Amino acid sequence: MPNYLNHDVEKWGNCLSGALQLGDYVSGMIEAGFLGIHQIRSIPWQEIDGIHFLSITLTGYKLPAAVEPNGVRFATLRGPFSQVVDELGQRYQRGVPQAVNARTVQLLKTPPFEPLFLLSETPLALEPSDARWLAVLPEQVPCVWRGDYAMLTGPFTEVEDDDHHVFRRGSPLEICSKTLKVLESDLYRRHFAMINRAAGEISGSQVACSPTGGCC
């Protein structure tokens, strides 16, 4: 936050100058011992000198310190992401069973994770034809830049979509019109907060939006 806003009495009174960045908000919850941190709601609030303020509510869980064996030895990511990293640092690839310990199973049984995983005693692989496979593929149309940015809010620390965009929790990533439509779908929207940084009229021209210069 710029110093002139930090020392603006009126902005402090409106809860703007003391606002936290999303990453700091999440870090505070982690330091307080919460896991399974995820978004309850997010709405745009105000923009001041190019700084976007959101009203966002996150929640999480404090897991019991004692971990009891539960018979589960594998977790299979259903989707909608192609890859994810959970809050304990474990990476999963959609459809591929991953060996997990009792502590990880405890985390994956919390409400934000449970619908996205299959937990089993033996390896359980999924194919795209399986009804339990979750995916939202982008339309095969040109990418258009409209000034949209997406911020992953949880419960994962990192995710990758089917167009190989990698989102890290709390960090805004510029996205094109195709990716925006994916992230606004029912399977994705609860995991993201969105802002639009466009200033002035938007041309609607086709753009290259991948790190390699290609279209997603």
- Determine the Cα–Cα distance for residues 75 and 125; give it in Å rounded to an integer: 9
Quote the domain boundaries for residue 86: 65-135
| Residues 71 and 128 grouped into a single domain | yes
pLDDT tens digits, residue range 117-126? 999 999 999 9
Decide if 170 contacts 26 (C-beta within 8 A). Answer: yes
> Does residue 188 contact residue 136 with C-beta atoms inside 8 Å?
yes
Give the torsion sign (CA, 82, 196, 115, 90).
positive
Average confidence (pLDDT) over 127-152: 94
98 and 81 within one domain: yes
Assess if residue 199 is contained within a domain. no
Please name the residue that has the structure tokens 């982008």. 138
Most confident region among 52-61, 170-179, 192-201 by mean pLDDT: 170-179
Judge contact between 130 and 97, C-beta under 8 A: no
Identify the three-state secondary structure at position 103: helix
69 and 53 both lie in a single domain: no
Residue 7 located in a structural domain: yes
In this predicted structure, what is the pLDDT of residue 198?
75
Residue 201 lies in a domain: no
d(CA 149, CA 188): 14
| Total domains present in the chain | 2
- Section 183-209 average pLDDT: 80
